[in-house]
């Protein structure tokens, strides 16, 4: 890229930070309900304590649920679940029981179920909450991390064996190229 070849970007500022891995947050809600919400605005924060941050809109039912019950599972589903993920994100849990759309199974360390068939699951509890504009950045302390057998190694997912949905915008999801590019050691 030549110096000075940048032009002002007129799209939504965050779209240049996409695609992003999509998590499905499972939370417990008032009245004993379970809710699911896809979230691509997520990131690891710290190794000690092990934490993952997820931005949740203050108007979302998941925000209400996380205020009610401070534990959740953060589920990474396979790319084949892109249609399901999009449907889960297209309706509010206030109006529909989204847990009926998936098979749930018990977690080991938190009292919130995980999605059966997930490639990875983080069992987590709310560590801190930071209000930023229209969202609350929930920083979850990771209690346990699980991966489906044979899909991950020391570098993370083995994309020759499995792929995850990376959310672009709207209905657009992307796959990871299975060929890693390793930077040269200095």
CATH code of residue 120: 2.30.110.10
Is the per-residue pLDDT at 3 higher than 70?
no
- Evaluate whether residue 144 is within a structural domain: yes
Distance, in Å, from the CA atom of 116 to the CA atom of 104, rounded to the nearest integer, reads 5
Q: How confident is the model at residue 178 (pLDDT cuts 50, 70, 90)?
A: confident
| Per-residue pLDDT reduced to its tens digit, 52-84 | 999 999 999 999 999 999 999 999 999 999 999
Give pLDDT, residue 179. Answer: 82
In a domain, 131, yes or no: yes
Q: What is the mean pLDDT of the chain?
A: 94
87 DSSP 8-state letter: H
Pair of tokens at residue 119: 């490639």
Q: What is the C-alpha separation between 179 and 183, in angstroms, rounded? A: 13
* Bridge-based pairing state of the strands 114-115 and 104-105: antiparallel
Which has the closest alpha carbon to 75: 145, 166, 156? 145
| pLDDT at residue 119 tops 90 | yes
Pairing of strands 42-47, 104-105: unpaired
Whether residue 186 lies inside any domain: the answer is: no
Tell me if 183 is assigned to some domain.
no
What confidence tens digit (pLDDT) does each residue in 89-110 have? 999 999 999 999 999 999 999 9
In a domain, 68, yes or no: yes
Q: What digits encode the pLDDT tens for the residues 125-141?
A: 999 999 999 999 999 99
The total of structural domains in the chain comes to 1
108 within domain boundaries: yes
- Residue 181 has what pLDDT? 82
Q: Is residue 147 part of a domain?
A: yes
Q: How many CA atoms lie within 13 A of 113 on its CB side?
A: 16
Counting residues of the chain whose pLDDT is more than 90, the rounded percentage is 84
- Structural domain including 65 reads 18-174
């Amino acid at each position: 890229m030549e110096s000075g070849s940048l032009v002002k970007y007129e799209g939504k500022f965050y779209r240049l930070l996409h695609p992003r891995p999509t998590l499905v947050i499972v939370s417990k809600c008032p009245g004993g309900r379970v809710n699911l919400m896809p979230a691509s605005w997520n990131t690891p924060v710290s190794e000690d304590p092990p934490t993952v941050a997820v931005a949740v809109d203050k108007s979302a039912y998941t925000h209400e649920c996380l205020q009610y019950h401070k534990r959740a599972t953060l589920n990474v589903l396979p790319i084949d679940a892109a249609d399901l993920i999009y449907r889960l994100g297209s309706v509010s849990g206030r109006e529909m029981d989204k847990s009926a759309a998936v098979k749930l199974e018990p977690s080991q360390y938190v009292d919130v179920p995980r999605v059966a068939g997930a490639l990875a699951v983080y069992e987590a509890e709310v560590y801190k909450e930071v209000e930023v504009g229209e969202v609350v950045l929930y920083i979850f302390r990771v209690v346990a991390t699980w991966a489906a057998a044979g899909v991950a190694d020391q570098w993370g997912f083995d994309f020759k064996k499995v792929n995850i949905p990376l959310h672009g915008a709207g209905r657009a999801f992307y796959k990871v190229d299975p060929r890693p590019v390793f930077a040269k050691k200095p």
